[in-house]
Structure formats: structure tokens, C-alpha cells
Amino acid sequence: MMKMRHRIGLLIIIAFVAYSFIAFQTSLTPYVSFAQAKSSTGAVQVRGVLATEKITVTENGKTVTFLLRDETGEEVPVIYQGSKPEGLDQATSIVAVGKYQNGLFRAEKLLIKCPSKYQGSVKPE
């Protein structure tokens, strides 16, 4: 009787570890270029910079559109459903997480790297 409980407990632990490993693997979102994003079926991360200074925000402020240039130089329109992230205009790097669909990249999340607010604050002596 006790051996059966040990086996069931061991099976539960193995199932939990396997499920955790699979969930972790599927949650990883790789960095890719737009060319690679076009052929990807899942969510990916594209790192780049603003290709132009034009950032369009809808009247209700719930959709942001801009042109992103990836590290290979390809430029693709990005649409983000949400409020405009602070610092997007001055971003030194933008990571768009989402999927490429119908000629544009639909971002679920935007990660913005801005210049440091302390940059240039040290005065030469």
C-alpha cells in the first residue's frame, strides 16, 4: 500500500516537472529580425530603433503606430494596442514583442530603452 502512494507521488512530481519545463520553453520569446518574424508562427521579439520621428496615436489614445527599423535595416510598421509608452520619442532602443501579420508587426508589449537622465550631467573640471 505504501509503495503505491510513493509511485503516485513520484508520478505527480514527474508530471509537474515536465509541465513546468514545457511551459517555460513555450514562454521563451527569441530575438529575431523582421525577416525571421514573417516566417514565425508564435510571438517573437524584434529589437530596433524608430525609423522616423512620426508616431501616430489614435484619438482615444489606445493604439500607437510607428515605423521600426530592425538590426538588419528592414523597416516595418508596428501597431501597439495600448497607451503610448513614456519615452518612446527619445528611445535609443525598442523591443517589440508580438507577431508579424499582413505586412505589419502587431506588438503585445513594447520595451523602451531611453537615454539615461544622468547622461551629460557630469561637468568637466
Q: At 18, list the grid cell.
A: 515536465
pLDDT (0 to 100) of residue 12: 92
**Average pLDDT over every residue of 16-37:** 80
The residue among 36, 49, 42, 55 whose CA lies nearest residue 95 is 49
Question: What three-state secondary structure class fits 83?
Answer: coil
% pLDDT > 90, the chain: 50
Pairwise CA distance, residues 35 & 95, whole Å: 15
**Average pLDDT over every residue of 62-66:** 94
How much of the chain is in helix, strand and coil states, percent to nearest 5? Answer: 25, 40, 35
Strands 104-113 and 75-81: parallel
Pairwise CA distance, residues 65 & 84, whole Å: 9
**Average pLDDT over every residue of 108-122:** 72
pLDDT (0 to 100) of residue 75: 95
Handedness of CA 86, 90, 96, 101 (dihedral sign): positive
Residues counted in the chain: 125
pLDDT (0 to 100) of residue 95: 93
- For all residues of the chain together, what is the average pLDDT? 85
pLDDT (0 to 100) of residue 120: 53
User: What letter would DSSP give residue 102?
Assistant: T
pLDDT (0 to 100) of residue 31: 83
Q: Answer whether 0.85 is exceeded by the pTM.
A: no
- Number of continuous H segments (helices) and E segments (strands) in the chain: 2, 6
